[in-house]
Amino acid sequence: MPAMLLVSTGPNGARKGSNYEAQTGKMNLYPHEIAIGGVYLPPLLIASLLGVIAAVVTARALNRYRLSRYFFYPPLVFVAITVIYTVLIGTFVIRV
């Protein structure tokens, strides 16, 4: 994630340096908003968008190899996969 896009609000909302990750070389473990052109987007929004995209890719792959026929109701499975991806991305990629 480019440093210029990140603004960390810290545990109590205190603003930290925007290039914290670049300076320390460590992942910022605090939830931080994503700024695009000055518009601040909540990390959950980004994580869920990425979760949906990953779920769409997975669903297409499962359709392609006819594995989706083993599910009882694929639309619900899609929701479940989206939630799993969102949680994983929110935990390991973008802290929410």
Rounded Cα gap, residues 56 and 15, in angstroms = 35
* Residue among 77, 84, 87, 93 that touches other proteins (CB under 8 A): 77
* Residue among 6, 48, 51, 78 that touches other proteins (CB under 8 A): 78
Q: How far is the CB of 84 from other proteins (least distance, A)?
A: 15
Q: Which of residues 28-67 bind other proteins (CB under 8 A)?
A: 39, 59-60, 62-63, 66
C-alpha distances in angstroms, 76 versus 37, 48, 71, 73, 79? 36, 16, 9, 6, 5
Decide: is 68 part of the binding site for other proteins (CB under 8 A). yes
Q: How far is the CB of 85 from other proteins (least distance, A)?
A: 14
List the one residue out of 40, 96, 43, 52 whose CA is nearest residue 78.
52
Cβ closer to other proteins: 27 or 57? 57
Rounded Cα gap, residues 50 and 71, in angstroms = 23
CA angle 64, 45, 81 (to 5 degrees): 30
Q: Which positions lie near other proteins, rule CB under 8 A?
A: 39, 59-60, 62-63, 66, 68-75, 77-79
